[in-house]
Chain A
Amino acid sequence: MTTTAQPSRGQILLDRGASLPLILPATLLVLVFLVGPFYYMAYTAMTDLSFANPDQNGAFIGFDNFRKLVREDTIFWGSFWRTIRFVAIAVSIEFVIGFALAWLIWRYVERQRLLTTLLLVPMMLAPVAVGLIWRLLLQGDFGMATHYLRAVGLLSQSSAVFSTPSLVMPTIIAIDVWQWTPFVTLIILAGLMSMPRSPFEAATMDGAGPWRQFFDIMLPLLRPIIALVLLLRGIDAFKEFDKVFIMTGGGPGTVSELLSIYAYRVNFKTWNLGYGAAVSFMVYLVVLILCSVFYKAVYWKSADQRAQA
């Protein structure tokens, strides 16, 4: 004898198409605050709109802004490659250190909750606050960090971090690492803690050493988590603005002018909004391409492997 399960009240509502009112508010929010502005930005990028120059009143100019951006704008390309370097170096260091810390905590620390709470502190600070704190710490005349760097001989008495062009980007990367490594640690730690024990026990019985277990079991199991953390950090680092703007304003010269700072200058210093929208659109496009490629390369591969298993 077979019994048929009675559908729940919620199921009935969903079946009757009552789901629409439930998802409508969220859909409207997304349309009004995300999709709408995005299309407006894309349209603005094809106009000559300027709040400064009355001759540029928003006339449609097709792809002229993009053509100028790609073919003529050396400042844009300088900022673009600088941003790519920043993302690649900062996120790599954050990943390596974050992974190592997560593994050490997972392996050796018993009171993990206390430690994870402490780890949260730098990433809970607003980026503007981080910028202000480090600007003061590294201030060349009375900054505490400057004082100690000079005391231990890492910085000469006649130089200061943000006034030495060769030190500016490494310092910005170091500060980003300081702020965001805990984020990587926490996510990886969560992944480590949720791993099943059985594959490791089986591997141990089969005589696999720690390195073999690390590369052949742990890394494949963590692949989705690693993909997620690299993706989130990559996107975030590509949009980096607040800290750098507060600490250096993009200088000295163009040493720390990241793409977001360039976009800010075009939009809010010169009020050339059509061209600024084109710059912002390019930022979006690059992030989108990076995400797609990365997602395909790492996350889907991992999903395929799971499916095959």
Chain B
Amino acid sequence: MYGNGSRLRMLIATSLLATSAALVLVGEAGAWSLEEAAAPYKGTTIRTIGEALPPLEAMKKLAPEFEKRTGITVEIEMYEASETASKVMLDLNSKRGRYDFILQQHRNVGKFVTNGHVEPIEQFMTSAELRDPEFKPEEQLYQGLWKEISWYDGKAYGFPFTALTMYEWYRADLLSDPKEQEGFKAKYGYDLGPAQDWKQYRDIAEWFTRPDQGLYGTAIQGKRHEALWYEWLNFLYSFGGDMLEVKTGSECGPVIVNSPQAIAATEYYKSLMAFSPPDTLNYFWDDVMALMQQGKVAELIMWNDATYAVAVDENVSTVVGKMGFDIVPQGEGGKVAQVEGWSYLIPTAAKNKEAAYLFIQWMMEYDQQLEQHLNGGATPRPDVYASAEVQKLPYAKASMASNEVAKPKPTIPQSSEMTDILVREISSYLADEKTAKEALDESAKEISAVLGSCAPMKYPVQ
């Protein structure tokens, strides 16, 4: 009996083992792998285009590994931002399909979607052959950033290439200098530290404005350039203003760009020019970054993807180890930051969409995102931010804090026209051609006319 029972147990155990082994083997054979998914596209070349900045350079360095694993060649074209936009617009409208995927500012997404130029990403994500089961954007990405940067009208069209935001940069060494702290407290009646509100921000700018020492309190990006608009938005949002009264970037709604809050924000913004270097009306982001790298400015509002070159890279910066970062000071609008980003998108006219999707999906993996972020990128993955290496970066906390309170901006098709109007009008105000109210009233009038009946003026102009 014992013998029979033992044999039976052995038989059952052997059967179970064999079944398990078979299941594992079957499982392995059916498991998704990049190599197998890419096999049908081996030998193809995919081409993309984007802005010549560190995140794209990092992608270029990572691409050979993808090429080695898949046999798909990746060609990357890099240009200045507006040149990139022009080339993409011409390619999309001619339906030539030169680019298999594009990297574009998220404000253009509405324009591309409504004109039928880009594919919804869902069709690739629902393909069992293409979708890596380990890639779960609905869990692995900052949802707010993903939806703002790569969605339009409730539908996903891609993934964020960079999730950008702006925050306060300050010279921590100056702000913690005991002599400065003593003098500052004597003059302003409170302790010197990173500005938490706009009064403190102005006081600090005034305190450190010492042209005879080559030091200025702040640097305003006053050139007639998109940079001016982006910078001004921080003030607008923080003061409680906005451009349109809407909840998402893809909505059209009443124009509120000439609200009392917007006028107050714009006037405050201009008042800071007194503490900015003399050439402030000729600065855009490159200029103010260079000033900070040279140690000529005490505080300013700047982009997270430019932080690396100031705070970490000793080859180009004299202030490595001296910088501090914090969220934009609070105003009536509370804790708020603007979200901006570049998105991976696949054109409808692209010739190798599946291969392009595989590359994008691979780039969104943790390892690639970490590598890209450490080399000047701005990842949309919170788990990358949480990594020990990223946490060591002096700007990681400010980036995370800003990402969490990032506010959307219009991505509707007319968004570029809105930006162009505002850049011109705010620049006119800075150049003393108009008052803040006149400039914003004119902006409201023109924006309302461009958007049509969906965008009446909430603050009518006489």
**By CB atoms of chain B within 10 A, which of A75, A253, A269, A271 has the most?**
A253
For A301, list chain B residues within 8 Å (CB). none
User: Are B278 and A251 neighbours in the complex by a CB distance under 8 Å?
Assistant: no
CB-CB under 8 A for A141 and B277, given A54-B114, A248-B224 = yes
CA distance A271 to B222 in the complex (A): 24
- List the A residue with the shortest CB-CB distance to B296: A141
CB-CB under 8 A for A272 and B115, given A157-B211, A159-B278, A163-B282 = no
CB-CB under 8 A for A253 and B282, given A270-B417, A272-B417 = no
User: Are B279 and A163 neighbours in the complex by a CB distance under 8 Å?
Assistant: yes
Interface membership of chain B positions 421-433, coded 1 if the CB is closer than 8 angstroms to chain A and 0 otherwise: 0001001111111
CB of B364, distance to nearest CB on chain A (Å): 28
CA distance A160 to B280 in the complex (A): 8
User: Are A252 and B222 neighbours in the complex by a CB distance under 8 Å?
Assistant: yes
- List the A residue with the shortest CB-CB distance to B417: A270
Interface membership of chain B positions 108-129, coded 1 if the CB is closer than 8 angstroms to chain A and 0 otherwise: 0001001110000000000000
Which residues 127-177 of A sit at the B interface, judged by CB distance below 8 A? 139-141, 157-160, 162-163, 165
For A75, list chain B residues within 8 Å (CB). 424
- B414 sits at the interface (CB 8 A): yes
User: Are B277 and A253 neighbours in the complex by a CB distance under 8 Å?
Assistant: no
For B428, list chain A residues within 8 Å (CB). 252-254
User: Are B416 and A270 neighbours in the complex by a CB distance under 8 Å?
Assistant: yes
- A250 sits at the interface (CB 8 A): yes
Instruction: Specify which of B86, B211, B278, B296 is in contact with A268 (CB 8 Å cutoff).
Output: B86
User: Are B278 and A160 neighbours in the complex by a CB distance under 8 Å?
Assistant: yes
- List the B residue with the shortest CB-CB distance to A135: B282
- A112 sits at the interface (CB 8 A): no
- B331 sits at the interface (CB 8 A): no
Instruction: Specify which of B111, B424, B432 is in contact with A165 (CB 8 Å cutoff).
Output: B432
User: Are A252 and B430 neighbours in the complex by a CB distance under 8 Å?
Assistant: yes
Number of A-B contacts (CB under 8 A): 104
CB of B24, distance to nearest CB on chain A (Å): 52
CA distance A162 to B116 in the complex (A): 42
- B353 sits at the interface (CB 8 A): no
User: Are B278 and A254 neighbours in the complex by a CB distance under 8 Å?
Assistant: no
User: Are B430 and A249 neighbours in the complex by a CB distance under 8 Å?
Assistant: no
Q: Chain A interface: which size bin?
A: 20 to 34
User: Are A52 and B417 neighbours in the complex by a CB distance under 8 Å?
Assistant: yes
- B89 sits at the interface (CB 8 A): yes
CB of B212, distance to nearest CB on chain A (Å): 9
- B390 sits at the interface (CB 8 A): no
Instruction: Specify which of A51, A157, A165, A265 is in contact with B93 (CB 8 Å cutoff).
Output: A51
Instruction: Specify which of B114, B278, B434 is in contact with A140 (CB 8 Å cutoff).
Output: B278
CA distance A152 to B223 in the complex (A): 27
User: Are B115 and A158 neighbours in the complex by a CB distance under 8 Å?
Assistant: no
User: Are B282 and A140 neighbours in the complex by a CB distance under 8 Å?
Assistant: yes
Interface membership of chain B positions 89-113, coded 1 if the CB is closer than 8 angstroms to chain A and 0 otherwise: 1000100000000000000000100
Which residues 167-219 of B sit at the A interface, judged by CB distance below 8 A? 211
Chain A, interface SS category = loop
CB of A273, distance to nearest CB on chain B (Å): 9
CA distance A140 to B279 in the complex (A): 5
User: Are A140 and B416 neighbours in the complex by a CB distance under 8 Å?
Assistant: no
Which residues 394-415 of B sit at the A interface, judged by CB distance below 8 A? 413-414
Instruction: Specify which of B89, B222, B434 is in contact with A51 (CB 8 Å cutoff).
Output: B89
**By CB atoms of chain A within 10 A, which of B86, B224, B291, B432 has the most?**
B224
CB of A156, distance to nearest CB on chain B (Å): 8
**By CB atoms of chain B within 10 A, which of A51, A162, A252, A269 has the most?**
A252
Interface membership of chain A positions 38-55, coded 1 if the CB is closer than 8 angstroms to chain B and 0 otherwise: 000000000000011110
- B420 sits at the interface (CB 8 A): yes
- A255 sits at the interface (CB 8 A): yes
- B322 sits at the interface (CB 8 A): no
**By CB atoms of chain A within 10 A, which of B277, B430, B431 has the most?**
B431
CB-CB under 8 A for A252 and B413, given A141-B291, A162-B282, A163-B279 = no
Instruction: Specify which of A53, A139, A250, A254 is in contact with B282 (CB 8 Å cutoff).
Output: A139
CB of B276, distance to nearest CB on chain A (Å): 9
CA distance A11 to B115 in the complex (A): 58
CB-CB under 8 A for A269 and B282, given A51-B115, A253-B428 = no
For A248, list chain B residues within 8 Å (CB). 223-224, 282
User: Are B280 and A163 neighbours in the complex by a CB distance under 8 Å?
Assistant: yes
Interface membership of chain A positions 239-273, coded 1 if the CB is closer than 8 angstroms to chain B and 0 otherwise: 00000000011111111000000000100111110
CA distance A270 to B416 in the complex (A): 6
For A51, list chain B residues within 8 Å (CB). 89, 93, 111, 115
CB of A132, distance to nearest CB on chain B (Å): 13
- List the B residue with the shortest CB-CB distance to A251: B224
- B335 sits at the interface (CB 8 A): no
For A271, list chain B residues within 8 Å (CB). 89, 111, 416
CA distance A253 to B111 in the complex (A): 27
Instruction: Specify which of B211, B224, B291, B433 is in contact with A158 (CB 8 Å cutoff).
Output: B211
CA distance A249 to B427 in the complex (A): 11
User: Are B224 and A250 neighbours in the complex by a CB distance under 8 Å?
Assistant: yes
Instruction: Specify which of B115, B280, B431 is in contact with A255 (CB 8 Å cutoff).
Output: B431
For A270, list chain B residues within 8 Å (CB). 416-417, 420
CB-CB under 8 A for A249 and B224, given A51-B93, A140-B279 = yes
- B60 sits at the interface (CB 8 A): no
For B417, list chain A residues within 8 Å (CB). 52, 269-270, 272
For B225, list chain A residues within 8 Å (CB). 249, 251
19 further contact pairs, Cβ within 8 A, besides A251-B427, A252-B430, A253-B433: A53-B114, A54-B413, A140-B280, A141-B279, A160-B277, A160-B281, A163-B280, A165-B431, A165-B432, A249-B223, A251-B225, A252-B281, A252-B427, A253-B428, A253-B429, A253-B431, A254-B433, A268-B86, A272-B417
* Closest 4 pairs (CB-CB, A-B): A140-B279, A251-B224, A253-B431, A252-B431
10 A-B residue pairings within 8 Å (CB atoms): A51-B115, A139-B282, A163-B280, A251-B224, A252-B224, A253-B424, A253-B431, A253-B434, A254-B427, A255-B433
